[in-house]
C-alpha cells in the first residue's frame, strides 16, 4: 500500500470520527494524513528502518495502524468504523460546505447517499425545506460539486512535479534513450496537471517503451505503442510517453509542450510564410526543405520570434511580444536569494528555526523570514506579543552564530474581521517583516473583505499581504475581493503581495501576479513551509511568477538581504 492510499484512509477515518463527534482523535488522523501526503519517501521504507513514530504527528497508535496497512493492506479499525455508518455518507462530505451535520441530515431525511443523488436533489429544490439549507447553501453545494469533479481530474503541480522528475530520471538511465524532456502542462508549470507528458528521442523506440511500461512506479498499462504509450502510476497519475527520432526533438518538444492555443497561433504564423509546422519539423511547403526541427529555439527563431519560455505559452499575448522582441526577461529559478514565509515549531511548524536555516542553506538561499502565526490563530498555536519578542531574542542569537546567512524576524499576523491586526503596533515595529493574512471571515461580502485588506495595507507596519485571495485549489474558492483596488492601494503604500508557494495555494495565481505587477506592485515569494522538506516549494512560487511574466526586479526575493531590509522599512 502506498502513501497516497494510506493518506486517503486516514482522511476517511478523520471524517468518520468527526461525524461521531470525536474531535481530537479526528484531528490527529487528519494531521497524520496531511503529513504523509507530502512525505518525500515511502512509508514502507520508513517502516523498514523502524522509524514510523519519528514522522511528525505519528504516535504509537497511528504508527501501528500504518504498520497494519503495510502488512495486510487492510485495517480492522476502519472496517469497524465504517460499519457504524451508511455507505455514501462520507462521499457527501467531500463537497465543500457539507460537514458531518449536513451530511447526516441529507442522508436521514432524503436518503441521499451519493454526490449524483445530491445534485439531483438540489436541482429539484428538495433541500430548501430543511434547517440550514437555504437557497445560498444550494448554490454553494452545486459549486462545491462542480469543484469536486474538477478536482478529481487534475493534480496539483507540487505533487506531480517530483514524481514526473523521478520518471524522467529513470528514463535517462535507459541505454536506448538519447534525450528526455518533460512536455505538456507540467513543462509549462501550470498550477494543476491533467496528465504528465514526457518526450524521448531514441533509435530503438520499442526498447524504450518496454523499459517504460515496466518501470516500478507503473501500475497499469493503458496503451503500449511504438511512438506513444500511456500508463497509470501506482498513485493514479496518468503518464503519456512519446518517442521520436532525434532530428525531430525540437519540433516534437514544441508541439507536445503546447499549450494547444499557443501551438495553433504558431502554426498560423508558419502558414503565412508558406511553411508547415508539425511535430516532426518546420518545412517549406513547396520545396519540402526542412527549416528547423532538431532544436526548439531554432523553430521560434525561424519564425522570427524570440524564444518563448514554456511558462509563457498560453496564448496570452506572448507571440505578439515575441514578434516585437519585447518579451520580459523572466525571473529565474536560481535567482531566489531567500524564502520570505516559513513557519517553525514556535507555532504550527515541525522544525526549529536552526533546522529551517540548515534546510534553506542546502537550497542555496541566503536568508529566510520566520513568520509564525499570531495569537488568535489558536489551531496553529499562534504566538503572543511576548512570544514574538522572545523569538526575536532567539533569532538575534542565531544570527550572531551563523555566517553568510540571515534570519529575518517576522510574523504572519491575522487580519481580524474588522481589518485590525491581532498584534500590537509596538510589537510589529520590532519585526523585520510583517505578513498580514486573512484566516477567518471568508464569507464576508466583497466590500467587507476589500475594506479589511485596505485597512491592513494602510497599517504602516504591514509589509506583505499573505495568500491574498485565500483560495485552496480544488478545495475552497477565493473569498470575494476587489483585487484591482487592493493592488492600487498596495502600490501607493509600498506594500507587497505574496505569491504563496504552498502547492494547494499558489496564491496569488499567475494571472493575478501579472495584474499586480501591471499595477506597479512588487511580489514576495514564500514557501509557507511548515517543515524542512517543504522549503523546496519555493520553486512552485517561481513557476507562478514566471507564468505571470514577472522579471527579477518584480520579485523581492531576488534582492540581497541588505537591499531587502531597506525596502521593508516603510
Ligand atoms: P493537461 O494535461 O490537461 O494539464 O494539459 P496539456 O497541455 O498537457 O494537454 P495534453 O496532455 O492533452 O497534451 C499535451 C500537449 O500536446 C498539448 O499541450 C499540446 C499538444 N496537443 C495535444 N492535443 C493537441 C491538439 O489537438 N492540437 C494541438 N495543436 N496540440 C495538441
Ligand atoms: Ca498533459
Ligand atoms: Ca497528455
Ligand atoms: Zn497563512
When the pLDDT of each residue in the chain is averaged and rounded to a whole number, the result is: 94
Q: How far is the CA of 493 from the centre of ligand 4 (A)?
A: 22
Sequence ranges of the chain with CATH classification 3.30.210.10: 249-323
In the predicted structure, residue 125 carries a pLDDT above the cut 90: no
- Find out whether the beta carbon of 310 lies less than 6 Å from any atom of ligand 1: no
Q: Does domain 155-244 have CATH number 3.40.50.2000?
A: no
* 353 or 152, which is more confident: 353
Question: How many residues appear in the chain?
Answer: 570
CA angle at residue 555 from 313 to 434, to 5 degrees?
A: 135
- Find out whether the beta carbon of 196 lies less than 6 Å from any atom of ligand 1: no
Q: How far is the CA of 386 from the centre of ligand 1 (A)?
A: 54
Q: Is the dihedral of CA 187, 188, 193, 199 positive or negative?
A: negative
**Which residue among 196, 256, 260 is best mutated to probe the pocket of ligand 1, counting the most ligand atoms within 8 A of its Cβ?**
260
At 29, is the pLDDT very low, low, confident or very high (cuts 50, 70, 90)? Answer: very high
Q: How far is the CA of 415 from the centre of ligand 4 (A)?
A: 10
- What digits encode the pLDDT tens for the residues 277-334? 999 999 999 999 999 999 999 999 999 999 999 999 999 999 999 999 999 999 999 9
Sequence ranges of the chain with CATH classification 1.10.150.20: 3-153
Sequence ranges of the chain with CATH classification 3.30.460.10: 155-244
Ligand (nearest to CA of 188): 1
Domain 3-153 maps to which CATH number in 3.40.30.10, 3.40.1360.10, 3.30.365.10, 1.10.150.20?
1.10.150.20
Q: Report how far residue 410's alpha carbon sits from residue 402's, in angstroms, rounded to the nearest whole number.
A: 18
Q: Report how far residue 78's alpha carbon sits from residue 9's, in angstroms, rounded to the nearest whole number.
A: 8
- Find out whether the beta carbon of 197 lies less than 6 Å from any atom of ligand 1: yes
**Predicted pLDDT at 150:** 66
| Residue nearest atom 16 in ligand 1 by C-alpha distance | 256
Lowest-pLDDT range of 92-101, 205-214, 251-260, 456-465: 92-101
Assigned superfamily of 249-323: DNA polymerase, thumb domain (3.30.210.10)
| Residue nearest atom 17 in ligand 1 by C-alpha distance | 258
**Predicted pLDDT at 151:** 62
Segment 456-462 mean pLDDT: 97
Sequence ranges of the chain with CATH classification 3.20.20.140: 333-568
HEC string for 405-471: CEEEEEEEEEECCCCCECCCHHHHCCCCEEEEECCCCCCCCHHHHHHHHHHHHHCCCCCEECCCCCC
Strand partners, 156: 192
Ligand 1, atom nearest to 263 Cα: 29
| Residue nearest atom 14 in ligand 1 by C-alpha distance | 184
Q: How far is the CA of 137 from the centre of ligand 3 (A)?
A: 36
Write the CATH number of the domain with boundaries 333-568. 3.20.20.140
Q: Report how far residue 399's alpha carbon sits from residue 432's, in angstroms, rounded to the nearest whole number.
A: 13
Strand partners, 368: 339, 407
Nearest Cα to 421, choosing from 465, 390, 483, 381?
A: 465
Lowest-pLDDT range of 138-142, 188-192, 536-540: 138-142
| Residue nearest atom 1 in ligand 1 by C-alpha distance | 194
In the predicted structure, residue 133 carries a pLDDT above the cut 90: no
- What digits encode the pLDDT tens for the residues 511-544? 999 999 999 999 999 999 999 999 999 999 999 9
What is the residue whose three cell numbers read 461525524? Answer: 19
- What digits encode the pLDDT tens for the residues 234-292? 877 899 999 999 999 999 999 999 999 999 999 999 999 999 999 999 999 999 999 99
Amino acid at each position: 500500500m502506498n502513501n497516497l492510499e494510506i493518506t486517503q484512509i486516514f482522511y476517511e477515518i478523520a471524517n468518520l470520527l468527526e461525524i461521531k463527534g470525536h474531535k481530537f482523535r479526528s484531528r490527529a488522523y487528519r494531521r497524520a494524513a496531511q503529513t504523509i501526503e507530502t512525505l518525500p519517501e515511502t512509508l514502507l521504507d520508513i517502516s523498514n528502518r523502524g522509524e514510523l513514530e519519528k514522522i511528525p504527528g505519528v504516535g504509537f497508535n497511528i504508527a501501528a495502524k500504518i504498520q497494519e496497512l503495510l502488512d495486510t493492506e487492510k485495517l480492522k479499525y476502519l472496517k469497524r468504523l465504517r460499519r457504524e455508518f451508511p455507505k455514501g455518507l462520507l462521499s457527501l462530505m467531500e463537497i465543500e460546505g457539507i460537514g458531518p451535520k449536513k451530511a447526516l441530515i441529507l442522508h436521514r431525511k432524503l436518503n441521499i447517499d451519493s454526490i449524483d443523488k445530491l445534485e439531483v436533489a438540489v436541482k429539484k429544490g428538495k433541500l430548501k425545506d430543511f434547517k440550514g439549507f437555504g437557497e445560498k447553501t444550494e448554490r454553494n453545494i452545486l459549486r462545491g460539486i462542480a469543484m469536486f469533479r474538477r478536482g478529481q481530474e487534475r493534480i496539483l503541480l507540487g505533487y506531480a512535479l517530483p514524481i514526473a522528475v523521478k520518471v524522467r530520471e529513470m528514463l535517462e538511465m535507459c541505454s536506448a534513450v538519447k534525450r528526455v524532456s518533460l512536455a505538456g502542462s507540467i513543462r509549462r508549470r501550470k498550477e494543476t496537471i491533467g496528465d504528465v507528458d514526457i518526450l524521448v528521442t531514441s533509435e530503438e523506440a520499442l526498447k524504450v517503451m518496454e523499459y517504460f511500461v515496466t518501470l516500478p512506479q507503473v501500475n497499469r498499462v493503458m496503451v503500449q505503442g511504438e511512438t506513444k504509450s500511456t500508463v497509470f502510476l501506482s498513485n493514479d497519475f496518468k503518464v503519456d510517453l512519446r518517442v521520436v527520432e532525434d532530428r525531430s526533438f525540437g519540433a516534437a518538444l514544441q508541439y507536445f509542450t503546447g499549450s494547444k492555443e499557443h501551438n495553433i497561433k504558431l502554426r498560423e504564423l508558419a502558414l503565412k510564410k508558406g511553411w508547415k509546422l508539425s511535430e516532426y519539423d518546420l518545412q517549406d511547403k513547396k520545396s519540402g526543405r526542412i527549416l528547423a526541427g532538431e532544436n526548439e529555439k531554432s523553430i521560434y527563431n525561424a519564425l522570427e520570434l524570440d524564444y518563448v519560455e514554456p511558462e509563457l505559452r498560453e496564448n496570452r499575448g506572448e507571440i505578439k511580444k515575441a514578434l516585437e522582441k519585447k518579451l520580459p526577461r523572466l525571473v529565474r529559478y536560481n535567482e531566489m536569494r531567500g524564502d520570505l514565509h516559513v513557519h517553525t515549531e514556535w507555532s504550527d511548524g515541525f522544525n526549529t528555526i536552526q533546522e529551517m536555516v540548515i534546510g534553506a542553506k542546502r537550497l542555496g538561499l541566503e536568508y529566510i523570514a520566520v513568520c509564525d502565526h499570531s495569537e488568535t490563530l489558536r489551531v496553529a498555536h499562534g504566538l503572543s506579543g511576548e512570544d514574538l519578542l522572545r523569538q526575536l531574542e532567539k533569532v538575534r542569537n542565531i544570527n550572531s552564530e551563523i555566517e553568510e546567512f540571515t534570519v529575518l524576524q517576522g510574523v504572519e499576523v491575522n487580519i481580524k474581521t474588522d481589518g485590525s491586526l491581532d498584534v500590537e503596533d509596538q510589537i510589529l515595529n520590532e519585526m523585520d517583516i510583517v505578513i498580514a493574512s486573512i484566516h477567518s471571515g471568508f464569507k464576508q461580502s466583497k466590500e467587507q473583505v476589500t475594506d479589511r485588506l485596505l485597512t491592513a495595507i494602510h497599517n504602516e507596519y504591514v509589509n506583505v499581504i499573505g495568500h491574498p485571495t485565500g483560495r485552496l485549489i480544488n478545495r475552497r474558492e477565493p473569498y470575494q475581493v476587489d483585487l484591482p483596488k487592493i493592488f492600487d492601494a498596495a502600490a501607493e503604500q509600498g506594500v507587497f503581495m505574496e505569491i504563496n508557494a504552498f502547492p494547494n495555494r499558489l496564491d496569488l495565481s499567475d494571472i493575478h501576479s501579472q495584474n499586480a505587477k501591471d499595477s506597479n506592485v512588487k511580489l514576495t515569494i514564500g514557501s509557507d513551509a511548515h517543515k524542512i522538506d517543504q522549503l523546496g516549494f519555493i520553486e512552485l512560487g517561481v513557476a507562478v511568477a514566471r507564468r505571470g511574466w514577472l522579471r527579477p526586479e518584480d520579485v523581492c526575493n531576488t534582492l540581497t538581504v541588505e537591499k531587502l531590509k531597506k525596502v521593508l522599512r516603510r
